[in-house]
Amino acid sequence: MRHVAHLGIGPVGFRIGSDWRGPIAQLETLYRDYPKPSIPDFSVHLFAARPWRKYLRPSVMIGGDYTIPDAAPLPLAQGLLAAEMGMNLQMALAQRRYLLLHASAVERDGKAVLMTGISGAGKSTLAALLMARGWRLMGDEFVLIDPATGLAHGFPRLISLKNQAIAVAQAAMPEGRFGPLLPGTPKGDIRHLVPDARAIRAMAEPAQPALLLFPRFGFDAAERPVPPSEAFVRLTQSSTNYVHLAERGFDALTRLVQSVPARAIDYPDTDSGIALVEALA
- The yes or no reply on residue 236 touching other proteins (CB under 8 A) is yes
The single residue among 109, 175, 197, 229 that binds other proteins, judged by CB under 8 A, is: 229
Question: 25 and 43 in contact (C-beta within 8 Å)?
Answer: no
Buried b (16+ CB within 10 A) or exposed e, 89-128: bbbbbbbebbbbbbbbbbbbeeebbbbbbeeebbbbbbbb
Q: Could you tell me the sign of the dihedral formed by the alpha carbons of 27, 40, 67, 249, in that order?
A: negative
Question: Binding segment for other proteins among 49-57, 80-88, 170-178, 227-235 (CB under 8 A)?
Answer: 227-235
Please give the angle made by the CA atoms of 49, 54 and 60, to the nearest 5 degrees. 55
Minimum distance of other proteins from residue 121's CB (angstroms): 23
Number of residues that bind other proteins (CB under 8 A): 13
d(CA 163, CA 161): 7
The single residue among 34, 42, 142, 232 that binds other proteins, judged by CB under 8 A, is: 232
5: nearest Cα among 16, 19, 13 = 16
The single residue among 47, 66, 178, 250 that binds other proteins, judged by CB under 8 A, is: 250
The single residue among 218, 258, 268, 278 that binds other proteins, judged by CB under 8 A, is: 258
- The yes or no reply on residue 214 touching other proteins (CB under 8 A) is no
State the alpha helices, DSSP H only, in the chain.
21-30, 79-94, 123-132, 164-172, 197-201, 228-237, 242-245, 247-259, 270-280
The single residue among 11, 147, 150, 228 that binds other proteins, judged by CB under 8 A, is: 228
The single residue among 51, 175, 247, 279 that binds other proteins, judged by CB under 8 A, is: 247
**Per-residue x/- mask for other proteins, residues 158 to 197, rule CB under 8 A?**
----------------------------------------
Binding site for other proteins (CB under 8 A): 227-229, 232-233, 236, 243, 246-247, 250, 254, 257-258
